A = this chain, B = another copy of it.
Amino acid sequence: MAKQRKNPRPRAEPPKGFRDYFGNDVTDRADMLAAIARVYRLYGFDALESPSVETARALGSFLPDVDRPNAGIFAWRDEEDTGREDWLALRYDLTAPLARVYAQHRNTLPTPYRRYAMGPVWRNEKPGPGRYRQFYQCDADTVGAASIAADAEICMMLADALEAVGIARGDYVVRVGDRRVLNGVLEKAGLLDPENPAQFEHERGVVLRAIDKLDRLGVEGVRALLGEGRRDESGDFTPGAMLDMPQAERIMEFVRAPTRTGQTLDHLHSLVAGTEAGEHAVRELEQLAALLTARGYDDRIRIDPGIVRGLGYYTGPVFEAELTFETLDEAGRPRRFGAVAGGGRYDDLVKRFTGQTVPATGVSIGVDRLLAALREKGRIGAGATGPVVVTVMDRDRMAAYQAMAAELRAAGIRAEVCLSNPKSFGGQLKYADRRNAPVVIIEGEDEAARGVVQVKDMIEGARIARDASLEQWKSRPAQQEVARADLVAHVTGILAGNRQ
A contact set with B: CB distance below 8 Å? 1-2, 4, 7, 9-27, 30, 34, 41-44, 46-55, 57-58, 60-64, 66, 69-71, 74-76, 78-81, 85, 88, 90, 100-101, 103-105, 110-112, 114, 120, 122, 124, 126-127, 133-134, 142, 144-145, 147, 149-150, 152-153, 156, 205, 208, 290-291, 294-295, 312, 352-355, 386-387, 389, 395, 398-400, 402-403, 405-406, 409, 412-417, 419-420, 431, 434-435
Bound complex: CA of A78 vs CA of B17, how far in Å?
11
B61 adjacent to A387 (CB under 8 Å): no
Q: Which of B79, B399, B431 contacts A291 (CB 8 A)?
A: B399
Other A-B pairs, 19, CB within 8 Å; known A1-B62, A21-B49, A80-B126 = A1-B312, A2-B61, A7-B57, A11-B57, A13-B104, A15-B55, A16-B78, A18-B54, A21-B47, A22-B48, A43-B387, A44-B389, A44-B416, A53-B90, A80-B127, A147-B395, A147-B398, A150-B419, A294-B399
Cβ contacts under 8 Å, A149 to chain B: 398, 402, 417, 419
B415 adjacent to A44 (CB under 8 Å): yes
Given contacts A10-B85, A44-B386, A100-B14, contact A49 B62 (CB under 8 A): no
In the assembled complex, how far is the CB of residue A104 from the closest CB belonging to chain B, in whole angstroms? Answer: 4
A-B contacts, 16 of them at CB < 8 A, read: A11-B353, A13-B104, A15-B53, A15-B54, A15-B55, A16-B80, A22-B48, A26-B47, A43-B387, A43-B415, A43-B416, A114-B416, A144-B420, A150-B419, A294-B399, A295-B402
B402 adjacent to A290 (CB under 8 Å): no
B66 adjacent to A2 (CB under 8 Å): yes
How many protomers of this protein does the assembly include?
2
Cβ contacts under 8 Å, A105 to chain B: 20
Given contacts A9-B352, A22-B48, A42-B414, contact A399 B290 (CB under 8 A): yes
Closest to A146 in B: B419
Bound complex: CA of A62 vs CA of B10, how far in Å?
15
Bound complex: CA of A47 vs CA of B61, how far in Å?
35
Q: Which of B2, B10, B51 contacts A352 (CB 8 A)?
A: B10
A46 adjacent to B22 (CB under 8 Å): yes
A419 adjacent to B53 (CB under 8 Å): no
The 3 tightest CB contacts between A and B, nearest first, are A44-B416, A294-B399, A76-B76
Cβ contacts under 8 Å, A66 to chain B: 2
A71 adjacent to B420 (CB under 8 Å): no
